[in-house]
Each structure stands twice: as structure tokens, then as C-alpha cells.
């Protein structure tokens, strides 16, 4: 019983690692543009399918596919940005619908090209199980990408806090007008946030392809999950988002272990609604209020 719980928590933590990569990207873009990019999860999906295509057609190891995925996902993110920045009226409603539409386009493009089948890497190296602390099992991919993801997010965290550009992103997020007065170029900074989000999405996509299974509607699922996590954590900080992501990961895997796999999403959704209504600024009391 205890070992089952520990195992569930361990799996949940590992899943939280890539959930966090997706959620941080969503939050970064929200910070600079005040827009929820509903096509964000589809960027993750795209990266995963690029890896699938590279492996199934050219026999490329998924890790080797990362550069290609980066280019394609980065270009797609830039395109999303370019389209978004053309909206001039009713920005809130129109940006939601625009990115919603872009998500539909990407999902269906994937569906047209690769059909609705479920895929996963065929490289055995990723799928071999490893034992941690003598009792906890995981796939090698999960561990590798969890650690890799932490390193990457630590990098982004450092970049946000110490680099000039990262500070520009933070300045724009906390006070747009003041940032402009301080000489921050909003367009360049917004694009930058999109590209960093794309970088994180790419890694998350490869992580999912090697450690889980991919299918076309995954993008939508990832967007919703990332949004839920940012609501839990508040949009504020990367460590906060990471904790929120790990929490969702654990709740899901506990639900799967003890209740039913079909209820996996339900637990997260209910937690989301509860937090939204009870603590609108997130579990960690972020400054940015979500509600009126």
C-alpha cells in the first residue's frame, strides 16, 4: 500500500516535470502579451510528431530530432505571434478565438498527415525501466527528461532574472507602460517570450513522445493542463509553476492508481475549479489577480 502510493507519487513528480515545461511557456506568453495562447499545447504536439516523423521515416533518434523540432515549432510560434499582433479590436475575445482556431488547424494538420493513431518511440533505450532508490520504477525517458527539464527551466529562470532580455520580459509582464518608459521594446520582448515558450514546448513534446504516447488531441489536453497549472500556481514564478505541475501530476497518478484511469483528468479539473473560486490568485497568492 505504502509502496504503491510512493510509486504513484514518484510517477506524478516525473510527469510534473514536463507539465511544468508546458505551463511555464504558457505563463511567459501570458505575462508579456496578456493573452492565453490556446494553441500552445499544439506546439508541444507538433514537436512530438516531428520526432515521430524523424524516427519512423529516417530512423533518427528522437533526441537527434530536437534541432528540427526546434526550428519547426519556433517558426510556428513566430507565426502565431505574427497573427496575434494583427488583432486590433476586441483583443480579449478575438485573441481567444484566433488561438483556438490555430489550435484546431494544427491538430487537424497533424491528423491529416499522421492519422489518429497512437504513437510512441520505438527506441528501446528510452523505454527501459530504471529503478530509483531500490524500489521506485520509471522509464529511462521519464528520468532523463525530468532532469533535463529541470535544468532547462533553471536556465530559463536564470535568464529571466539575470539577463538583460529576461529582465525585459519580467518588466513587461509586471507593468507594461513602465517597461516601455524604461526602453523595453515590447514587440521584440513578446517575440522572445514566444520563442522561449516554443523551446520549452519542444522539449516537452520530445519528452512525451519518448516517455508516453502521442495522439492528435493531445495538444488540446496539454493546453488545458498548462492553464490549470498556471491557475493553481498563479502566473508568478517558475518554481511556483513547477510545484503546481508536480501537484497535478501527483493527483492524476494517485487517481489512476486508486480510483480509475478514466477519472485522471477529472481530479485536475475539479481542483482547478475549486482553486479558481476559492483562491482566485492561486495557491501561492500570486499578485496578479485572475478574478475581478
Degrees (nearest 5) of the Cα angle 253, 64, 147?
Answer: 40
256 binds another protein (CB under 8 A): no
Contact residues for 15 (Cβ-Cβ < 8 A; gap 6+): 142, 249, 252, 253
Q: Which neighbouring-strand residues pair with 129?
A: 139
Q: Which of 101, 155, 158, 285 binds another protein (CB under 8 A)?
A: 101
- Write down the least CB distance from residue 263 to another protein, Å: 7
Scanning the structure block, which residue is given the C-alpha cell 513602465? Answer: 178
Q: Which is nearer to another protein, 90 or 128 (CB)?
A: 90
- Write down the least CB distance from residue 248 to another protein, Å: 13
Q: Which of 4, 111, 118, 151 binds another protein (CB under 8 A)?
A: 111
Could you tell me how many residues make up the chain? 292
Site for another protein in 224-243 (CB under 8 A): 224, 227-228, 231
To the nearest 10°, the Cα dihedral for 218, 73, 24, 157? Answer: 150
Q: Which of 9, 63, 78, 109 binds another protein (CB under 8 A)?
A: 109
Degrees (nearest 5) of the Cα angle 208, 209, 211?
Answer: 60
Site for another protein in 26-55 (CB under 8 A): 35-36
116 binds another protein (CB under 8 A): yes
- Write down the least CB distance from residue 272 to another protein, Å: 6
DSSP assignment string, 60-100: --GGGGHHHHHHHHHHHHHHHHHHHTT--SSHHHHHHHHHH
The site for another protein (CB under 8 A) is made up of: 35-36, 83, 86-87, 89-90, 92-94, 96-98, 100-112, 115-116, 216, 220, 224, 227-228, 231, 262-263, 265-266, 269-270, 272-273, 276-277, 280, 290-292
Amino acid at each position: 500500500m505504502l509502496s504503491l502510493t510512493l510509486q504513484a507519487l514518484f510517477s506524478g513528480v516525473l510527469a510534473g516535470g514536463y507539465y511544468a515545461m508546458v505551463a511555464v511557456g504558457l505563463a511567459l506568453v501570458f505575462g508579456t502579451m496578456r493573452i492565453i495562447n490556446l494553441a500552445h499545447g499544439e506546439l508541444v504536439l507538433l514537436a512530438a510528431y516531428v520526432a515521430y516523423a524523424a524516427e519512423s521515416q529516417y530512423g533518427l533518434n528522437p533526441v537527434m530530432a530536437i534541432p528540427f523540432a526546434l526550428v519547426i515549432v519556433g517558426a510556428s510560434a513566430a507565426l502565431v505571434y505574427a497573427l496575434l499582433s494583427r488583432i486590433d479590436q476586441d483583443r480579449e475575445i478575438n485573441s481567444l478565438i484566433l488561438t483556438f482556431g490555430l489550435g484546431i488547424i494544427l491538430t487537424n494538420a497533424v491528423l491529416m498527415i499522421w492519422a489518429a493513431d497512437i504513437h510512441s518511440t520505438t527506441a528501446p533505450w528510452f523505454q527501459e525501466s530504471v529503478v530509483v532508490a531500490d524500489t521506485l520504477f520509471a522509464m529511462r525517458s521519464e528520468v532523463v527528461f525530468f532532469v533535463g527539464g529541470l535544468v532547462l527551466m533553471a536556465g530559463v529562470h536564470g535568464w529571466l532574472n539575470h539577463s538583460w532580455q529576461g529582465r525585459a520580459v519580467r518588466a513587461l509582464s509586471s507593468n507594461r507602460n513602465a517597461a516601455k518608459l524604461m526602453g523595453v521594446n515590447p514587440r521584440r520582448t513578446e517575440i522572445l517570450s514566444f520563442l522561449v515558450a516554443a523551446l520549452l514546448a519542444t522539449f516537452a513534446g520530445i519528452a512525451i513522445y519518448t516517455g508516453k504516447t502521442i495522439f492528435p488531441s493531445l495538444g488540446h489536453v496539454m493546453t488545458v493542463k498548462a492553464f490549470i497549472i498556471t491557475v493553481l500556481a498563479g502566473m508568478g514564478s517558475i518554481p511556483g509553476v513547477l510545484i503546481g505541475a508536480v501537484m497535478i501530476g501527483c493527483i492524476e497518478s494517485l487517481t489512476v492508481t486508486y480510483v480509475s484511469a478514466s477519472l485522471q483528468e477529472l481530479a485536475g479539473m475539479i481542483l482547478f475549479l475549486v482553486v479558481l473560486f476559492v483562491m482566485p490568485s492561486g495557491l501561492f497568492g500570486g499578485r496578479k489577480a485572475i478574478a475581478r
